[in-house]
Homo-oligomer: A and B are copies of this chain.
């Protein structure tokens, strides 16, 4: 590509450049001071690097913040949020103004303490929990490479830049992310490491001796070290990185809080206002006589020009898109609206299931549903954290996405649950890709911080989590989730699906992919389950969250179960029928969707009779269905190693026990 905006254009006048960087510093220290809270040190330390990046390299157009082929900028060290807000205003993004900056960290403003996706412009992802942004960026770079392979570099050709701090690189997720990026040779991923040697507790030497360059090199990255206060050196390193055939780390040696004469270079500049005296001294030291929140015209003009420097590139891109035969497919991928397509495909698939209802594990049912989904939607990119054969996530005809074939639609993430989840977040945020990825349900703990951020950001990411109970058997309590359904259901804006058979699994996949405003977990069994839904129904019954899978007009008891325990509840119903006890069986594949149903529907479904809940997990969360006097058949502690059926018997999760509990309630 020959976009002029993409090359490192000629340096600005050095004095003007210094003023541009100092504008960031002043805004950061003054906003933090005004808020009496925040982190001035990082924006002040990285001001020169950020100015070099944004004024000379970033392909952006402030007038089109969502332009698909823009370069991405990820502030992984999210506590330095004032950097991004200062840049947003200086570059002229709509929605960012001085009023926002003056009200940094105040309720009702976009300038949240940490950058929140969907609030301020320039925020490509929510960051703050360290290391997440870096791993999101890996996902964005994967999406870029994949879409470039799919649609051509005419339409997709942009860099992903990251600013990461010591903390990001100490977090475990950073290892998973950089190893994955290095393996995939994501050459357009460039990480600027704010190597200021200061953490919250003091010098990083208190806790760390890692040679980061050597470490990144070990994972296949190109590496460089520069003086982060020498814009020319930074620019040269960026130019080299952009030409590299591998992802690049540029360690920028900086002084935290650069400009603050006493606190600069120390942990005191990290996470607290500098104080009036130190700020006055910093103004002196920086040669910045301007009052708080005032930026001289020439400096602002230079920044605003930087905000427009990608405009020509964008217009050229737009023209290419308009002329492209792939325009429709590209725009459809970015739009990502599959509701109708999916509804039709799943409906037809359910008809096929009804012809010969299969007795399969729901993980296998998930694979069967995915065959339909992946054929109907060309934008899915699946994967697994080294459990492909166990999670059943790879369908026929999905090629592996690798450094040799970015067009592939299946990722071997390696044993990296956390980076997988965070990379999926990045892919979803990038757009054009719908990610799903698998691991065991118990290892949702390993990626929980990323699942939470998907929920907070409202991203459509599907976590395929198999081996969802003691039913997995011999692997034992380390691998048997008992508290994970409850723990996941506790996360706001996350849908947790636990389907009971192949039909429900298909319906849950449809619902997960139609959930454009949040992530889903689909919990699936290792063990085979009898089909529960035999007759075809067009309706997606799982959309109700819970419904009568075995109706009984005037029940003596209502049995409510999820997933593998629906089979048990249905068997208990048979047993009860022998004693002339009428039981309605409710399947509850999604507590979240049930909670959204009208009160009338909920009341009618659950009725007034006694209730028994059945789930091979802890009771927490079941008060959605159960009253104090109702019964619950499930787990109260950790599982054990043994054959799955032996464990169900041992822990008393069986039709007999359910029937007994029901009778006790009725008597």
Contact = CB atoms under 8 A, between A and B. Distances in A.
Contact of A445 (B449, B486, B489): B449
Interface stretch (A217-225, A299-307, A534-542): A217-225
A569 B199 CA distance: 38
Nearest to A455: B638
A636 B490 CA distance: 10
A167 interface: yes
Interface stretch (A10-18, A52-60, A61-69, A472-480): A472-480
A222 B442 CA distance: 34
A623 B618 contact: no
Contact of A490 (B116, B214, B486, B638): B486
A388 B208 contact: no
A208 B181 CA distance: 10
A626 B449 CA distance: 29
Contacts of A641: 105-107, 112-114, 116
A116 to B, nearest CB: 7
Contacts of A174: 172, 175
A173 B171 CA distance: 8
Most interface-central of A166, A212, A491 (chain B CB within 10 A): A491
B638 A492 contact: yes
Contact of A620 (B442, B478, B486): B486
Contacts of A478: 78, 114, 116, 126-129, 453, 456
A210 B216 CA distance: 9
A482 B492 contact: yes
Contacts of A622: 623
Nearest to A619: B623
A643 interface: yes
B637 A492 contact: yes
Contact of A167 (B386, B390, B621, B623): B386
A113 B493 contact: no
A335 to B, nearest CB: 27
Given A490-B483, A492-B638, A620 B618 contact: no
Contacts of A171: 172, 176, 415-416, 446
Interface string A450-467: 001101100000000000
A173 B643 CA distance: 30
21 contacts: A105-B642, A113-B473, A116-B477, A129-B479, A167-B386, A170-B416, A172-B173, A172-B418, A175-B176, A183-B209, A199-B414, A445-B449, A453-B478, A456-B477, A482-B492, A486-B490, A490-B618, A492-B636, A492-B637, A492-B638, A493-B638
A127 B487 CA distance: 22
Contact of A452 (B387, B390, B445): B445
Contacts of A475: 113-114, 128
A127 B386 CA distance: 18
Interface of A: 35, 37-38, 78, 105-108, 112-114, 116, 126-130, 166-167, 170-176, 179-180, 182-183, 199-202, 204, 206-212, 214-215, 217-220, 384, 386-390, 400, 412-416, 418-419, 442-443, 445-446, 448-449, 452-453, 455-456, 473-479, 482-483, 486-487, 489-493, 618, 620-623, 626-628, 636-638, 640-643, 646-647, 650
Nearest to A390: B200
A646 B384 CA distance: 43
A474 B112 CA distance: 7
Nearest to A627: B628
A624 to B, nearest CB: 9
A412 B449 CA distance: 22
Contact of A642 (B108, B207, B386, B491): B108
A481 to B, nearest CB: 10
Contact of A446 (B113, B210, B449, B623): B449
A214 B218 contact: yes
Given A172-B419, A414-B170, A493-B637, A207 B183 contact: yes
Given A126-B478, A128-B475, A210 B218 contact: yes
Nearest to A204: B414
A112 B640 contact: yes
Contact of A172 (B202, B386, B416, B456): B416
